[in-house]
A and B are shown apart, each in its own frame.
Chain A
Amino acid sequence: MDELVAAEAPGIPPDPGAAATPAGGAVSLARGLRRAAGVVPFGVYMALGLIAPLIAVAIGAFQAPNGGGFTLSNVKTATHGVYLHGFSQSIQLSIIAAVLPGIFGLLIAYAIWSAKRGAVLRRVAITASGVFANFGGVPLAFLFIATLGSSGLATRWLADIGFDPYQHGFSLYSLSGVIVVYMYFQIPLMVLVILPALEGLRPAWREAAANMGARTWQYWRYVGGPVLMPSFLGCVLLLFGSSLSAYATAEAMTSGTIPLTSIQIGSFLNGNVLPGQENVGKALGLGLVIIIAVAMGIYVILQRRAARWLQ
Chain B
Amino acid sequence: MAAIDQAPAPPAAGRPSRARRAAGQRDGFTPWRWLILIVAGVYFLIPLYAAVRFAGWGSFRSVIHQSGFASSLGLSVRLAAITTVITLALMLPTAVYVHLRLPRLRRLLEGITILPIVIPPVVLIVGLLQVAPGFLKSTPYLLALAYVVLAMPFAYRSIDAGLRAFDLKTLVEASNSLGAGWPSTLWRVVLPNLTTAVLSATVLTVALVLGEYTMASLDLYQTFPVWIVVFDQTSGPISVAASLLALFVTWLFLLAITMLGGRQARRTGGGEVALFSVARRDTGRTS
Question: Could you tell me which A residues sit within 8 Å of B by CB distance?
Answer: 1-2, 5-6, 9-11, 14, 16, 35-36, 38-39, 41-42, 45-46, 49-50, 52-57, 60, 104, 107-108, 111-112, 114-118, 121, 123, 126-128, 130-132, 134-139, 142-144, 146-148, 152-154, 183-184, 187, 192-193, 195-196, 199, 203, 206-207, 209-216, 218-219, 221-223, 238, 241-242, 244-245, 247-248, 251-252, 262, 265-266, 268-270, 281-282, 285, 288-289, 292, 295-296, 300, 307, 311
Which residues of B from 5 to 48 have beta carbons under 8 Å from A? Answer: 6-10, 15, 18-19, 22-23, 25-27, 29, 33, 36-37, 40, 43-44, 46-48
Q: Which residues of B contact A266 (CB under 8 A)?
A: 122, 214, 218
Given contacts A219-B22, A247-B213, list 14 more A-B pairs with CB under 8 A: A1-B97, A16-B104, A52-B131, A54-B127, A108-B37, A115-B27, A135-B247, A137-B225, A142-B236, A153-B50, A192-B275, A199-B277, A216-B25, A295-B118
Chain B interface bracket (under 10, 10 to 19, 20 to 34, 35 or more):
35 or more
Q: Which residues of A contact B50 (CB under 8 A)?
A: 143, 146-147, 152-154
Judge whether A292 and B258 touch: CB under 8 Å: no
Find the residue from A11, A117, A127, A154 having the highest chain B CB count within 10 A. Answer: A127
Q: Which residues of B contact A147 (CB under 8 A)?
A: 46-47, 50-51
Contacts A36-B102, A223-B3 hold; do A11 and B173 have CB atoms under 8 A apart? Answer: yes
The answer to the question of B280 belonging to the interface, with a C-beta cut-off of 8 Å to chain A, is yes
Nearest 6 pairs of A and B residues by beta carbon = A53-B127, A241-B118, A139-B243, A245-B120, A222-B3, A153-B50
Contacts A46-B112, A213-B9 hold; do A245 and B122 have CB atoms under 8 A apart? Answer: yes
Question: Could you tell me which B residues sit within 8 Å of A by CB distance?
Answer: 2-4, 6-10, 15, 18-19, 22-23, 25-27, 29, 33, 36-37, 40, 43-44, 46-51, 53-55, 90-91, 93-94, 97-98, 100-105, 107, 109, 111-112, 114-131, 145-146, 148-149, 152, 154, 173, 176-177, 181-183, 204, 207-208, 211-214, 217-218, 225, 228-229, 232, 236, 239-240, 243-244, 246-247, 250-251, 254-255, 258-259, 262, 274-277, 280, 286-287
Nearest residue in A to B145 (C-beta to C-beta)? A49
Judge whether B115 and A50 touch: CB under 8 Å: yes
Report how many A-B pairs have Cβ atoms within 8 Å.
Answer: 318
Judge whether A184 and B47 touch: CB under 8 Å: yes
Judge whether B130 and A138 touch: CB under 8 Å: no
Q: Bound state CA distance, A149 and B121, in angstroms?
A: 27
Interchain CB contact (< 8 A) of B120 among A11, A196, A262: A262
Find the residue from B10, B111, B259, B276 having the highest chain A CB count within 10 A. Answer: B276
Nearest residue in B to A144 (C-beta to C-beta)? B47
Nearest residue in A to B261 (C-beta to C-beta)? A123
Judge whether B280 and A199 touch: CB under 8 Å: yes
Q: Which residues of A contact B109 (CB under 8 A)?
A: 39
Nearest residue in A to B89 (C-beta to C-beta)? A41
Judge whether A126 and B275 touch: CB under 8 Å: yes
The interface residues of chain B, by DSSP majority, are classed as helix
Interchain CB contact (< 8 A) of B254 among A10, A111, A127, A154: A127
Judge whether A196 and B277 touch: CB under 8 Å: yes
Interchain CB contact (< 8 A) of B213 among A16, A117, A195, A252: A252
Q: Which residues of A contact B112 (CB under 8 A)?
A: 46
A244 CB, min distance to chain B CBs, angstroms: 7
Q: Bound state CA distance, A25 and B225, in angstroms?
A: 55
Judge whether A39 and B120 touch: CB under 8 Å: no
B261 CB, min distance to chain A CBs, angstroms: 9
Judge whether A50 and B116 touch: CB under 8 Å: yes
Find the residue from A1, A131, A251 having the highest chain B CB count within 10 A. Answer: A131
Q: Which residues of B contact A9 (CB under 8 A)?
A: 176, 182
Judge whether A117 and B119 touch: CB under 8 Å: no
Nearest residue in A to B25 (C-beta to C-beta)? A216
Contacts A146-B51, A147-B47 hold; do A213 and B15 have CB atoms under 8 A apart? Answer: yes
Q: Which residues of A contact B33 (CB under 8 A)?
A: 111, 114-115
Q: Which residues of B contact A46 (CB under 8 A)?
A: 112, 149, 152
Contacts A11-B173, A14-B100, A142-B243 hold; do A49 and B123 have CB atoms under 8 A apart? Answer: no
Find the residue from B53, B117, B287 having the highest chain A CB count within 10 A. Answer: B117
Q: Which residues of B contact A248 (CB under 8 A)?
A: 212-214, 217, 225
Judge whether B214 and A247 touch: CB under 8 Å: yes
Q: Bound state CA distance, A215 and B4, in angstroms?
A: 11
Judge whether A269 and B218 touch: CB under 8 Å: yes
Q: Which residues of A contact B121 (CB under 8 A)?
A: 245, 247
Q: Bound state CA distance, A213 and B11, in angstroms?
A: 9
Judge whether A137 and B9 touch: CB under 8 Å: no
Judge whether A10 and B176 touch: CB under 8 Å: yes
Q: Which residues of A contact B23 (CB under 8 A)?
A: 207, 210
Interchain CB contact (< 8 A) of A5 among B101, B131, B236, B280: B101
B157 CB, min distance to chain A CBs, angstroms: 9
B94 CB, min distance to chain A CBs, angstroms: 4
Judge whether B93 and A1 touch: CB under 8 Å: yes
A19 CB, min distance to chain B CBs, angstroms: 12
Contacts A206-B26, A218-B3 hold; do A139 and B40 have CB atoms under 8 A apart? Answer: no
Q: Which residues of B contact A219 (CB under 8 A)?
A: 3, 22
Q: Bound state CA distance, A14 and B3, in angstroms?
A: 42
Q: Bound state CA distance, A210 and B258, in angstroms?
A: 35
Q: Bound state CA distance, A117 and B25, in angstroms?
A: 12
- Could you jot down 14 A-B contacts, CB within 8 Å? A39-B105, A49-B128, A108-B40, A123-B259, A127-B275, A138-B213, A138-B225, A154-B46, A199-B277, A251-B214, A251-B217, A266-B218, A270-B218, A295-B118
